[in-house]
Structure 1
Amino acid sequence: MSHTAHIPSHRKPRRSASKLALRAGVAGGVLSTIAVAGAAGPANAEPVTETIEMPTLNADLSADLSSAVAASAEATQQIALDQELQAQEDAAAAKAAKEAKKAKAEAERKAEAAEAERKAEAKAQAEAAERASRSAERTTLSASADSSSSSDEDGGGSSYDAGQATGSAAAIVAFARAQVGDAYVMGSTGPNSWDCSGLVQAAYRQAGIELPRVSGDQSSRGTSVSLDNLQPGDILYWGSRSNSYHVAIYVGGGMFVGAQNPGTGVVERSLDYDPPSGAVRVL
């Protein structure tokens, strides 16, 4: 066993470096003050013997530090809350702007659609008025032709001229002439556009006669007639009778009405314009 094992230590406990530095600073400041005061006094002044008690700063310093830390944390939290609030406001503003832009585009689209519909309706009304006017004019011309035809019959006029169709033939011819000026559209059956067989089928329907839809079948109906012996209402065809590719209606006076092609639409032309291959009589 060591000889010094039971010898108690007389060393004082070490103080922390921070406490020593603080006390040394305070003590130094006080001593400096005393020294300056002593130097400023008279030379024969008595030495200061009053004992100055050093204040204890540890508790106050700790409290101040805690307050500062708490204030800093509160300020940091407030900044974070302000930033979050600003972000929410920015997001709400961006969403509102996007919705307003979308609503504006939708309103413009609806306005354009309404304007297009209005123009289309106005155009349709104008076309209907034009067709009605054209039909009325043709009806007047037809009535004048009928009157002239009656005079010819009384005076021995020529047979089967343009205004001499009667009965079912008159209904067919009048309908066909009323469509002159309409458009030609392949596969169309009216009322504002036609193909050749669609027009013939619709015209014969005015006389209560239902014809097949296509030109080949239409030219196969009835009986064949010579082109020198045509009567109003006869069906003219181009190609062979059993396999014709085009049909039209003879309206008298060496004229026919037919839906020719997209370039001309429904027209009334002389037989010399496009001589047909043959004709059939269904009436």
Structure 2
Amino acid sequence: MSHTAHIPSHRKPRRSASKMALRAGVTGGVLSTLAVAGASGAANAAEPVTQTIELPTLTTDLSSQVARSADATQQAAANYQLQAERDDAFAKAADQAKKDQAAAEKKAEAKKKAEAAAKEKAEREAAQQAASRSSERTTLSAASSSSSSAAPTTAAAPASGSVGAVISFLQVQVGDAYVMGGTGPNSWDCSGLVQAAFKQAGVDLPRTSQEQSTFGTSVSLSNLAVGDILYWGGAGSAYHVGVYIGNGQYLDAANPSKGVVIQDLSGYPASGAVRAL
């Protein structure tokens, strides 16, 4: 017999196999659950959740559209700038036009006033000249009448007073201006004055000195009568005409510096003469 046989066994009593199996199963199940949970947690911890946004890829067509849109925007901006510049230019032009119009109106008004003043002055001078001519004509008429009675002419005067009508008309025009092509009433050239004078006697003379130098009957310068038409130059090519008023004098529209005057034949002898009355 063992020397320890009388000592109670200190070992724990054995558990039954079934209990041990049950406990092992429970423990294994629990451990399995924990292992799965741990693994799942580790996996989740190892792989963080992220959200990926995929951007669209720019295709060639889209790039072209973007480029065209940019060009259109740039063109629109350029158009706006151009329109703004045009508007500004138009505004400046309109303002300048107003200024020019105002200046033109002011200038026109000044010109109108100047013309009115010049017209008033001309009318005043014309009135003074008319008064002066009237006085001179009265004196000349008296002198002519005296000369006619004192100095007999070389030919008998035509009847019916036609010569008197011509001479009276011519004397009234003394002092009028000479103007090339003038036919009155206040300015004359040589043939215009002679034509108008003979019209007073009912004679229609041609207009030019060339034609008048061949009108009527040719007379010699030594046989002149009052009212004969004198001409300078050749018959048919005369360059000047006047009318003989007796006493060696003639009346004509001489030139721009003299106007209508009475002159002596001795100072400017005529080339020939014709008688139309």
Contact 2:147 2:247 in 1 (8 A): no
Report the Cα distance in structure 2 between the residues aligned to 1:92 and 1:238, rounded to whole angstroms. Answer: 69
Aligned-CA RMSD value: 3.6
Contact 1:183 1:266 in 2 (8 A): yes
Match of 1:12 in 2: 48
The Cα of 1:274 is off from its aligned counterpart by: 0.9
Q: Deviations over 1:227-250 (max 9, x none)?
A: 223222211001222221211111
Report the Cα distance in structure 2 between the residues aligned to 1:173 and 1:127, rounded to whole angstroms. Answer: 27
Match of 2:192 in 1: 198
Report the Cα distance in structure 1 between the residues aligned to 2:190 and 2:141, rounded to whole angstroms. Answer: 26
Instruction: Tell me which stretches of 4 or more aligned residues in structure 1 moved more than 3 Å.
Output: 13-16, 86-97, 145-150
Q: How many residues align?
A: 201
Match of 1:251 in 2: 245
Report the Cα distance in structure 2 between the residues aligned to 1:147 and 1:185, rounded to whole angstroms. Answer: 29
Report the Cα distance in structure 1 between the residues aligned to 2:165 and 2:209, rounded to whole angstroms. Answer: 20
Match of 2:142 in 1: 144
Match of 2:11 in 1: none
The Cα of 1:219 is off from its aligned counterpart by: 1.5
Letter in 2 for 1:196: C
Q: Deviations over 1:129-166 (max 9, x none)?
A: 1443244224422553366468x4xxxx43149xx999
Report the Cα distance in structure 2 between the residues aligned to 1:143 and 1:237, rounded to whole angstroms. Answer: 24
Report the Cα distance in structure 2 between the residues aligned to 1:192 and 1:146, rounded to whole angstroms. Answer: 22
The Cα of 1:97 is off from its aligned counterpart by: 4.1
Contact 1:216 1:241 in 2 (8 A): yes
Q: What secondary structure, in the 3-state scheme, does the structure 2 residue paired with 1:268 have? A: strand
Contact 1:216 1:245 in 2 (8 A): yes
Unaligned runs of 5+ in 2: 1-41, 53-83
Match of 2:182 in 1: 188
Match of 1:103 in 2: 101
Contact 1:181 1:265 in 2 (8 A): yes
Report the Cα distance in structure 2 between the residues aligned to 1:232 and 1:180, rounded to whole angstroms. Answer: 17
Report the Cα distance in structure 2 between the residues aligned to 1:122 and 1:129, rounded to whole angstroms. Answer: 11
The Cα of 1:223 is off from its aligned counterpart by: 1.3
Contact 1:197 1:247 in 2 (8 A): yes
TM alignment of 1:118-197, pairs within 5 A: 118-145=116-143, 148=146, 152=149, 157-160=150-153, 167-197=161-191
The Cα of 1:100 is off from its aligned counterpart by: 3.9
The Cα of 1:224 is off from its aligned counterpart by: 1.8
Unaligned runs of 5+ in 1: 1-6, 17-85
Report the Cα distance in structure 2 between the residues aligned to 1:268 and 1:228, rounded to whole angstroms. Answer: 20
Contact 1:232 1:250 in 2 (8 A): yes
Report the Cα distance in structure 2 between the residues aligned to 1:183 and 1:98, rounded to whole angstroms. Answer: 48
Report the Cα distance in structure 1 between the residues aligned to 2:200 and 2:136, rounded to whole angstroms. Answer: 17
